[in-house]
Structure formats: structure tokens, C-alpha cells
């Protein structure tokens, strides 16, 4: 059985551990590897290596650090196909989605190639008599990332690239469900010329998470996962004196105005609601048609489009999505579907009971469509995180606007319309962090920033872009005066606000 070990100081740790986790193949329900679940010994070794390596890495000028990022980019592009196969084999998403996972992470690596420009501080000449004021951005020291199973390449790259390019050492604790690609990425950073100890990977469960949150040498933690755990990570990390950004769950809505192009909407919904088996925090699991006529027209078009979706193993080039990640998660999704029915939702398309011939033990679910879902239903209020689309009908624009605005989650939202005024009004007023206008999954590009509101995001600073740079650095402000050496006191130090 293949064993997935920690990556410490550029190589496998070789630490003895009786605790192991099973890494399954979601396509057939067979265990394909086991991952070492580490504890304090693994983290202490990683922290010691990071402490030894980080000062030298931070002392390297930003342009040379950027050159390492250029090489990382080239190596990821070189190994893209290999990484996609590894990723899909453990996660279950189809190869096309796996490539997209890697490429969206690569965009942040590309952004970091230009980080020397963003690291420049500000300068004010003559802020007072003979006084200059300037600022500089400096690394925090050691940062850590705790990442989820659903994007095992993209999210680690979002965190690691920004932290490392800014001059920090970085310790990653990826999901134990699909840990191979994060380890491979750490190896590629070392191959690119990153000093050993600057990027390391430790595996574990809650024990490792708590050790990271409590460790006094780790200055900042970035987390992506469910909202309850995000709140826990944020609270415990802040209590330990750390800077924390913790991204949580979502229940993203798609508002469909009567004038929308419904053919395009249906095409977008099939990808946004069911792509990657719905296991995305930016999926679109709720559609809100405005007006009964819009709802009926949309429903009539959705049913045959959903029936035409192809579900297959992750390596099937014709499959539009593959299995969910574990048997436990599949059972959870099925329970939520039954809860929705019990609450009074209309079951239009039932994805339960789907079996893929030759892969009957795989964790497959067909697409499910539920209509006449009401805001008070628990199935609407909570994140299902599977291939389930719920229709919540709204009589007018104001009601549609209020649904995502009042929901506990505020990650993403989209409006589909040809009316520029309606789109502009919606974007300005909706209480959600990321908004799409005729864009179903509004994940910003790498030179902007990613982050939700309410229970979708804890902490004040978003991921990547300039916000990410602010998170992984601290701003030092310097007020300087150089006396002329006359010695008569005529150039006495005067604070700018003093007369």
C-alpha cells in the first residue's frame, strides 16, 4: 500500500506514526493509499526547518524570489497532465475539472511573479523640516495553510504562492482525503530553487489543526472549509495571537430575471450547479426565477438539460462530472435530499440510486432538481455541497434581492438579465461578497481578491491579489531625519504636526 508522508526540508520525513488515514478511489470505493497522520513531532520538525530557512529567504531580494515563481510556473505547466491525473484519482473530479483546479491556482503563481512591484512601500519627502516618512512591507515569518479536499491544487497555491513570494516560510496541512498533489506541489517549489524548509507539508486531522493554531512560532493561518470549522479556526487562532483568514461555506444564489436568455442560463446552471459534483464553495445550488412565468419556463428547460448530463469516472473524457469524494459525503447529500422532500419541496429530478455500470461501489450521485423550496426550510438554509439544485421562486425583484442578502452565507451570487439598470442595482445592494452579472461562478481573477461575507468568511482580509499581500506581510513605518551635523541645535527634531 502506497504511503503518503510529510514533506519536510524538501523530502519525506520518515517519521514513525501508528496513525494512518485511508485515501480512497471515489470511482470504485477501493483504498488506494494511506496517509500518515502526524502530531507534534512532525510539526516541530517542520517549524524548526522553517525557522532556519525563512530569514535567508526573506533576505533574498524580491526580484530573485520572483524568479523562483517563474520557474514554479514553468514546472507546473510541464507537469500539468500528470498533476491532473493524480488529482482526479483521489478527488473524483473529471480530468477537465482537475486541470481547471490547477490552472486557477497557477494564475496566482503568475501574479506573484510581479510581486516586487506590489511590495514597494510609500515615501513622503519633506513631511516635516528635514524629515522623511516611508513604509516597507515585511514578511510575517512562518505562515500556515489548512486547505479542503475540493480544490487540492488551487487553494494550496493561492496561499503558498502569496506567502512565499512575500518572504515567508509556509507550512501546509492539506486535506487527508486527497493529499498527493499538495505534496507534489511542494516538491516542485524545491525543484524550482526554493530553499529547503520554506515550503513544507504536514498531514493530520483535528489534532494537527489545533497544534498549528496553538504554535507560538506560526504567525498567520489561512483556512478554507466549512463555516463551523472556519469559525473555530478563526476564534482559536486569534486567541493565540495569530493573524487569521478563515473562508467558510456558501449557499450561492442565481437570480433569473424575466428578460434573461434562458438557454444560456440553463447551460450555465448545469455547469455551476452540477460541475465537480457540486463540491465547490462557489457552486450555484440555488436558482431564483423572478415571476411564475419565468419559473415555469426555466423548469421546462432544466429538466431535459439535466437528463442529458453525463456522469462517469474521473478519467472519462465525455463525463461532465464524476463521483463525490467519500461514501460518507454521498450519504450526507442523500439525507439532505430526503430532508428537502420531507419539508415540502417538490422533487422534480431524483439523483439518488444512480449506479454507474462497472463502478457500482463508486460514490456516484445523479443530478437532483428540487422546486418550490421555501426560505424557512433547513435544506435551503444549509450547504448541501453536492449535485443538487434548488428552485426558490420569487414574485418580484425585491424579494429575489432579499433572499441572498438575508441568508447566513454571503460568498457568491449571480444575476442573469439583459437589463443594465437591474444588474447595476443588484450588484450595489446585494449583501454578498462576490457578484456575477451573467457570470454563474464569479471567482475573481488573480489580480483582484477572493472572499465572502457573513458566515462565508471570518477575518477582514481576503485571499490573493493585493489583499493577499496585505495578509502575508506587516507594514513598517519609518520617520527619518538626518541632521546636518552643525551641532548648534538649529535643526531640532520637529514632529510634522508641531509648529
Residue-level pLDDT at 496: 62
In which band, very low, low, confident or very high, does the pLDDT at 497 lie, cut at 50, 70 and 90?
Answer: low
Listed residue (176, 177, 182) closest to 91, CA to CA: 177
pLDDT in tens, 132-167: 999 999 999 999 999 999 999 999 999 999 999 999
Q: Residue 74: enclosing H or E segment and its boundaries?
A: helix 62-78
Q: For residues 332, 335, 340 and 344, what is the CA-based torsion angle, rounded to 10 degrees?
A: -170
- What is the three-class DSSP state of 317? coil
pLDDT tens column, 86-95: 999 999 999 9
Among candidate residues 113, 183, 270, 281, the one labeled active-site is 281
By CB atoms closer than 10 A (0-12, 13-18, 19+), residue 186 is buried
Nearest one of 471, 444, 447, 462 to 111, comparing CA atoms: 447
State the CB neighbour count (10 A cutoff) for residue 37. Answer: 18
Same topology between domain 2-248+456-478 and domain 253-437: no
Model confidence band, residue 77 (pLDDT cutoffs 50, 70, 90): very high
The mean pLDDT of 69-76, rounded to a whole number, is 98
Strand partners, 221: 144, 244
The beta strand positions in 48-177, using DSSP E, are 123-128, 131-139, 142-146, 169-173
Judge contact between 388 and 278, C-beta under 8 A.
yes
CA atoms within 13 A on the CB side of 133: 10
- What predicted TM-score, i.e. pTM, was given to this entire model? 0.93
Mean pLDDT of 295-302: 98
Helix axes 95-112, 80-91, angle to 10 degrees: 120
With a cut of 60, say whether residue 115 has pLDDT above it: yes
Closest CA to 35 of 150, 201, 153: 201
pLDDT attached to residue 485 = 63
Is the confidence at residue 73, as pLDDT, over 90?
yes
How far apart are the C-alpha atoms of 227 and 409, rounded to whole Å?
A: 9
Look over the chain and give the mean of its residue pLDDT values, rounded to a whole number.
95
pLDDT given at position 259: 97
392-445: pLDDT as tens digits: 999 999 999 999 999 999 999 999 999 999 999 999 999 999 999 999 999 999
- Write out the three cell numbers for 183: 505534496
Q: What pLDDT score does 212 carry?
A: 98
| pLDDT at position 101 | 96
pLDDT confidence of residue 494: 61
Q: What is the band of 40 on the pLDDT scale with cuts at 50, 70, 90?
A: very high
Averaged pLDDT for residues 101-117: 95
What is residue 358's three-state secondary structure?
coil
Name residue 132's beta-bridge partners: 480
Neighbours of 334 (CB within 10 A): 17
pLDDT greater than 70 at residue 473: yes
Please provide residue 13's backbone torsions phi and psi, each rounded to the nearest 5 degrees: -80, -35
What topology is assigned to 253-437 in CATH?
Aldehyde Dehydrogenase; Chain A, domain 2 (3.40.309)
Predicted pLDDT at 434: 96
Dist. CA 455–CA 234, nearest whole Å = 12
List CB contacts of 47: < 8 A, sequence separation 6 or more: 142, 171, 215, 217, 218
Q: What is the pLDDT of residue 489?
A: 54
User: How far is CA 374 from each of CA 341, 364, 377, 442, rounded to the nearest angstrom?
Assistant: 12, 27, 6, 25
Closest to 254 measured CA to CA, from 440, 390, 431, 417: 440
- Percent of the chain with pLDDT strictly greater than 70: 96
Question: Which cell goes with 112?
Answer: 506573484
Residues 6+ apart with CB under 8 A from 165: 62, 65, 66, 69, 112, 115
| Mean predicted confidence (pLDDT) in 195-204 | 97
The mean pLDDT value for 363-388 works out to 97
CATH number corresponding to 2-248+456-478 = 3.40.605.10
Residues in the chain: 499
Inform me whether the pLDDT recorded for 486 exceeds 80: no
Sign of dihedral through CA atoms 406, 408, 410, 414? Answer: negative
- Whether residue 20 is predicted with pLDDT greater than 80 in this model: the reply is yes
**Residue 13: pLDDT over 70:** no
Residue 281 is among the residues annotated as catalytic for this protein? yes
What are the extents of the domains in the chain?
A: 2-248+456-478, 253-437
Residue 426, helix vs strand vs coil: helix
Q: What does the pLDDT look like over 243-284, one tens digit per residue?
A: 999 999 999 999 999 999 999 999 999 999 999 999 999 999
For position 1, what pLDDT does the model report? 86
* Residues 400, 401, 403, 409, CA torsion sign: positive
- Best CA proximity match to 217, nearest among 161, 175, 266, 168: 168
- Confidence band, pLDDT 50/70/90 cuts, at residue 492: low
Cα separation of 46 and 21, whole Å? 20
Distance CA 462, CA 450 (A): 6
The pLDDT value recorded for residue 190 is 97
Predicted local confidence at residue 55, as pLDDT: 98
C-beta atoms surrounding 279 within 10 Å: 24
Confidence at residue 342, expressed as pLDDT on a 0 to 100 scale: 98
User: For 243, which DSSP code?
Assistant: E
Of the ranges 13-17, 154-158, 338-342, 389-393, which one carries the lowest mean pLDDT score?
13-17
Amino acid at each position: 500500500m502506497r504511503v503518503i508522508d510529510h514533506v519536510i526540508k524538501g523530502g519525506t520525513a520518515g517519521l514513525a506514526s501508528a496513525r494512518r488515514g485511508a485515501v480512497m478511489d471515489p470511482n470504485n470505493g477501493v483504498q488506494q493509499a494511506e496517509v500518515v497522520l502526524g502530531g507534534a513531532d512532525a510539526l516541530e520538525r517542520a517549524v524548526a526547518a522553517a525557522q532556519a530557512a525563512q530569514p535567508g529567504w526573506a533576505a533574498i531580494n524580491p526580484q530573485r524570489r520572483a524568479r523562483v515563481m517563474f520557474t514554479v510556473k514553468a514546472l507546473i505547466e510541464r507537469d500539468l497532465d500528470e498533476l491532473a491525473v493524480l488529482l482526479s484519482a483521489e478527488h473524483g473530479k473529471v480530468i477537465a475539472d482537475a486541470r481547471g483546479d490547477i490552472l486557477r491556482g497557477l494564475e496566482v503563481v503568475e501574479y506573484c511573479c510581479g510581486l516586487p512591484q506590489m511590495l514597494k512601500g510609500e515615501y513622503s519627502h519633506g513631511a516635516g523640516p528635514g524629515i522623511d516618512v516611508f513604509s516597507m512591507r515585511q514578511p510575517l515569518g512562518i505562515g500556515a495553510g489548512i486547505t479542503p479536499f475540493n480544490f487540492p491544487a488551487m487553494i494550496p497555491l493561492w496561499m503558498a504562492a502569496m506567502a512565499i513570494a512575500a518572504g515567508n516560510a509556509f507550512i501546509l496541512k492539506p486535506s487527508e482525503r486527497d493529499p498527493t498533489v499538495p505534496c507534489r506541489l511542494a516538491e516542485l517549489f524545491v525543484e524550482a530553487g526554493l530553499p529547503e524548509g520554506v515550503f513544507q507539508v504536514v498531514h493530520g486531522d483535528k489534532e494537527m489543526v489545533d497544534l498549528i493554531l496553538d504554535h507560538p512560532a506560526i504567525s498567520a493561518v489561512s483556512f478554507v472549509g466549512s463555516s463551523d470549522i472556519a469559525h473555530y479556526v478563526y476564534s482559536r487562532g486569534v486567541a493565540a495571537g495569530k493573524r487569521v483568514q478563515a473562508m467558510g461555506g456558501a449557499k450561492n444564489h442565481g437570480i433569473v430575471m424575466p428578460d434573461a436568455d434562458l438557454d444560456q442560463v440553463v447551460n450555465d446552471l448545469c455547469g455551476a450547479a452540477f460541475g465537480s459534483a457540486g463540491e465547490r464553495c462557489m457552486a450555484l445550488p440555488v436558482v431564483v426565477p423572478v415571476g411564475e412565468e419565468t419559473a415555469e419556463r426555466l423548469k421546462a428547460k432544466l429538466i431535459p438539460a439535466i437528463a442529458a448530463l453525463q456522469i462517469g469516472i474521473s478519467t472519462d473524457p465525455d463525463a461532465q462530472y464524476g463521483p463525490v469524494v467519500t461514501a460518507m459525503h454521498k450519504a450526507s447529500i442523500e439525507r439532505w435530499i430526503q430532508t428537502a422532500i420531507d419539508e415540502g419541496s417538490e422533487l422534480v429530478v431524483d439523483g439518488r440510486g444512480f449506479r454507474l455500470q462497472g463502478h457500482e461501489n463508486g460514490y456516484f450521485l445523479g443530478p437532483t432538481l428540487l422546486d418550490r423550496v421555501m426560505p424557512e426550510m433547513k435544506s435551503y438554509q444549509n450547504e448541501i455541497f453536492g449535485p443538487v439544485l434548488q428552485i426558490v421562486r420569487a414574485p418580484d425583484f425585491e424579494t429575489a434581492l432579499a433572499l441572498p442578502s438575508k441568508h447566513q452565507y454571503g460568498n457568491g451570487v449571480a444575476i442573469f438579465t439583459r437589463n443594465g439598470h437591474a444588474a447595476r442595482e443588484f450588484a450595489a445592494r446585494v449583501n454578498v461578497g462576490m457578484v456575477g452579472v451573467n457570470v454563474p461562478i464569479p471567482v475573481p481573477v488573480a489580480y483582484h481578491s477572493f472572499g465572502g461575507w457573513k458566515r462565508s468568511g471570518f477575518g477582514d482580509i481576503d485571499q490573493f491579489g493585493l489583499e493577499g499581500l496585505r495578509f502575508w506581510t506587516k507594514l513598517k513605518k519609518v520617520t527619518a531625519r538626518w541632521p546636518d551635523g552643525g551641532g548648534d541645535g538649529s535643526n531640532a527634531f520637529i514632529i510634522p504636526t508641531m509648529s
